[in-house]
Homo-oligomer: A and B are copies of this chain.
């Protein structure tokens, strides 16, 4: 582990309001996410390696490299899973050297290198199955999508190890792309965005402006309405209905939409083109005002794995692919860097603790692809999927999670996510800062930050005040801040910090009931339970003998938080609530009847709500986030 923060050029994005810290600047020393990173490190990454072997991903590279015989296996985009796994491993190796992982990564990189064609082209499906017929199906071929994931893995690996081996593979391919696509060359863009954000990142590491130009070219290609779409959806499936700068609606395949927006925001961060940021702001508003699930899940529809109409937010058949929530987090991160507005970090937090974390089982071995908010009991976790995009996406997110905790600018340091950690920064050259954050977040709202490196100079510390928090109490060295200065969702404290200074934040975490906008039909008359950033759910296993579809929540009864070690490893905070059970025997197995507003007296029962992310860790069983309240029957 390096001991000084060496902020490289590639972390400075010209139009970023705030600047990223290098991955190693922040270390999770304990707490909630440290536990999850540990499981990812010890279990999930090895599981991934084995599954990539079993599912044929490595096999495909061997066949493409001429090292093995056989047919290509799996869907066209299988290469990308290898790259995402490699990206995750690179982040891990950056902070936690590990001989076994290092060897596996080196072998896989050697295999990738061996499979690359002499002119730089690399895609095992097209090399093996289509025999070199490149770019014949940009809409669905996923060649550029896979290339993008290669580039991201290469950038991560280079940043982690300073090795140029995988980066050289990436730039050879990227150079081929630059020679192939462009205003005077081949037109078109990939049906699944990804290469755009990756090219910008590759530019940041290599400083080759051709990569940035190509990212812009691909982004500019969209909106011609020429892509094929899927089922009832036409070009909007691929975000090809309107040009990027004119887009106001978030639409189509949710992962595609999020990945495109990552690239567009990256392009803004490098070029400062206001039209791009304005389009992103419009789309973001469209998302949060009509198309976002309470868990931060995105993509309301199974068909096309896509966004739906405004307020179309079904609890049962929302798709909420894990990858889409991860993509949204990555997009919101870029928006946060661009604007310095806490609402983007708020959404990241919502997604992290809920709609993303639900994607990985406590055991580190099993995954959700869809993350519904209601299940009647038949949906369980899987160790892998035929379309296995989500597992390695979770791996790379967890391995790189520390990068999202804090940023810096010339004025000081900003903290976005709370977890026990050490953070080192250098807002202005030669003035290193070290912070030591202690917290039991998300179970307790107390965050304590000790200043461990400071030279008495004046700088700003910004601490995010989460959207769910109605009142923030802050003290410095035990003295309350009387009139806290809050800007764009951040408490701003500017002073001449001394070694040993301690700033404390108290974010009141009483359990609360949440309601949805009155235009949302799907959860009308229902309430959800939330505490801090954590959204809760009822699980069938905690309510034996009851059908969760018959439970009503007593909205007038108190909610009680209760720490429990006995439910799942590591413990979790449950919420005790009160409910009633509806008798529907008088419906006589009918679905509809003449309305009668009879009140039925029912007996009170205790309810136990567990964090949404924790559901289905005790087997597939019924679950619901939104609970009808008593008044609506």
Contact = CB atoms under 8 A, between A and B. Distances in A.
Interface of A: 231-232, 285, 288-290, 292, 294, 301-303, 308-317, 374, 376, 378, 470, 512-528, 547, 549-550, 555, 582, 584, 587, 589-597, 626, 628, 631-633
A521 B316 contact: yes
Given A316-B521, A515-B593, A518-B582, 14 more contacts: A288-B591, A289-B591, A294-B591, A303-B303, A311-B549, A315-B521, A513-B594, A515-B595, A518-B633, A521-B628, A525-B525, A525-B632, A527-B595, A631-B632
* Top-6 shortest CB links A-B: A525-B525, A513-B595, A289-B589, A519-B549, A302-B303, A515-B595
Given A312-B317, A314-B317, A631-B631, A591 B520 contact: yes
Contact of A288 (B285, B522, B582, B589): B589
A314 to B, nearest CB: 6
**How many copies of this chain does the complex contain?**
2
Nearest to A583: B518
Given A314-B522, A524-B524, A524-B628, A517 B374 contact: no
A518 B631 CA distance: 12
B521 A584 contact: no
A590 B289 contact: yes
Instruction: Tell me which of A314, A378, A515, A555 has the highest count of chain B C-beta atoms within 10 A of its own C-beta.
Output: A515
A172 B231 CA distance: 37
Instruction: Tell me which of A294, A514, A527 has the highest count of chain B C-beta atoms within 10 A of its own C-beta.
Output: A514
A316 B313 CA distance: 10
A315 to B, nearest CB: 6
29 contacts: A232-B302, A285-B589, A289-B590, A292-B591, A309-B376, A309-B378, A310-B376, A312-B316, A314-B317, A315-B521, A470-B594, A512-B594, A514-B593, A514-B595, A515-B592, A515-B594, A517-B584, A517-B590, A517-B591, A518-B584, A518-B587, A519-B550, A519-B584, A521-B526, A521-B626, A522-B522, A525-B632, A555-B595, A555-B597
A155 to B, nearest CB: 34
Contacts of A301: 302, 317
A516 B632 CA distance: 12
